[in-house]
Structure 1
């Protein structure tokens, strides 16, 4: 069993690669839910949805989020009557959020809803939320405290970030299916190339989860989301800078230092200070072939 910890776009790329080289029953993907929020009365789970669409072959590769072949009649109508349109929900995507909200309100867990939707979309590997209890990432910015999506989407990451907190994490319970998988001695735990502050950070903030990973007896392999001091996508590098840390592959590795046995990074990046076994390989995933090649590098390390 390979257990992959993932945020959205970058993590979903490696998760897709892993899904092409592993039997479905041998891959478990643990999704960040710190991004989850309520919007227009709907329960939105952005990272779960990005993973779901990518593994189902339904992702919008042009936008990098949402579903392909999308239409926008709902948003256009909403704008015409003065509704909030800063978080765009396509017509096809909207159906998923409506159904998830209905089922959660009927008493189902997020794990159960996610698993059933994945099954119906023909996805073999398991996608698990990190917890069925709500955890919400909040950021202290120059404009005050902002919920993650308000900072990331509405404000386009413009306000500088001074602190990050995970509201609800202190009482959240790790997903029991994850704990069972960790207890069964997995082949490896993979930390996908996702933002360490706001994608992997919320996962590791769930009480007991970091300790369970450290004690599972399997190699822990992270892939750097930083190449030559720059993030492949998103605000990772800028968040390091705002924390007073030079963005680098080594800076990411330092955040997982107590867990890592192996670290996959670009051939030319500086490895100074990294204590894990370093594996040099191309980490930029533009094509499906790139994703599969990186997945094989990770599995060879395992």
Structure 2
């Protein structure tokens, strides 16, 4: 049997764990060349310039996770990293004192920045980065354009998403999220083609607003999802009425969406009604919401969603693939 062609839209820690689960599910099926089967379209709305180097937090989190070198306790950065260079940079008054970069992580940013200065696109840089480790997946940025997420907080002050998220821990009430330049952006090479040729498209249990939202906002991505023959299956980032990690509830409230599995499903919408989903995986704790999801034109499926270890992450991914019939 040929390996299914899988596209995952992902960002953040939840996205990293889910992508690992998809790769694990493919390996459990006996598929050795998972890189030929699995394409991950990664959010780049979190990206920023800092101290003259280009940071891509979601790209790096997923890359490090697939390479097995990520810091699983913090959820970001490299395992066993040190912060000597970061301390020296901040001693010079550069960077952000509340935004820590590990030395190994800085090595990644320096390499990326050098390649960008040499004229490579972000997609070409990511392809070069992926050659260092056997990731078992093809990674694509959502776009080559710089569309960094800005947060307009109560009172009209605008700041980069990373400042709002890391420095202020999402305590400043957001009025809205913006991605300047998004209207002129286009999907990175390979993104639309991967969606068109997929056997299934999976929406990872990532932050719906600032991880999945920017991917869907890239002009052309929604059209690709609307026209692909592949079923689109989403996994709820809400379990038992609560976010699993981070401050996604604050983000959802800012766009008028309740923190519930059914509300997030409605936010994405049914493909049959101009949205993006055909099916939606709900946690066992939210099984009572299945009828509400079905009423929105989205096929509900109930499964264990906690990704507490590799086996559970693979089981969740297998359930998502099963929901698509692949």
1:51 CA drift (Å) = 0.3
Question: SS of the counterpart of 1:271?
Answer: helix
Deviates more, 1:226-235 or 1:241-250: 241-250
Whole-Å separation in 2 of the counterparts to 1:176 and 1:80: 40
1:78 CA drift (Å) = 2.9
TM-score (normalised: structure 1): 0.96
1:241 CA drift (Å) = 3.0
1:3-58 CA-to-partner distances (Å, cap 9, x unmatched) read 00001100110001111222221000000001101001000000000000000001
Q: Which residue of 1 aligns with 2:19?
A: 15
Whole-Å separation in 1 of the counterparts to 2:91 and 2:309: 38
Please provide the CA RMSD for this pair.
1.3
Q: Which residue of 1 aligns with 2:37?
A: 26
1:214 CA drift (Å) = 1.4
Q: Which residue of 1 aligns with 2:30?
A: none
Q: Which residue of 2 aligns with 1:207?
A: 219
**Which of residues 114, 117, 129 in structure 2 aligns to 1:105?**
117
1:57-106 CA-to-partner distances (Å, cap 9, x unmatched) read 01101111100011111122234343332211101111000000000011
1:239 CA drift (Å) = 2.4
- CA contact 1:250–1:272 (8 Å) conserved in 2: no
Whole-Å separation in 1 of the counterparts to 2:195 and 2:255: 32
2:187 equivalent to 1:150: no
- CA contact 1:249–1:271 (8 Å) conserved in 2: no
Deviates more, 1:272-281 or 1:226-235: 272-281
1:272 CA drift (Å) = 4.6
**Which of residues 281, 284, 287 in structure 2 aligns to 1:267?**
284
Deviates more, 1:195-204 or 1:71-80: 71-80
TM-score (normalised: structure 2): 0.89
Whole-Å separation in 2 of the counterparts to 1:153 and 1:14: 23
Q: Which residue of 1 aligns with 2:62?
A: 51
Q: Which residue of 1 aligns with 2:262?
A: 250
Question: SS of the counterpart of 2:305?
Answer: coil
Unaligned residue ranges in structure 1 (runs of 5+): none
1:231 CA drift (Å) = 0.6
Q: Which residue of 1 aligns with 2:173?
A: 160
Whole-Å separation in 2 of the counterparts to 1:278 and 1:183: 24
Unaligned residue ranges in structure 2 (runs of 5+): 27-33, 270-274
Whole-Å separation in 2 of the counterparts to 1:298 and 1:271: 16
- CA contact 2:307–2:313 (8 Å) conserved in 1: yes
Question: SS of the counterpart of 1:108?
Answer: coil
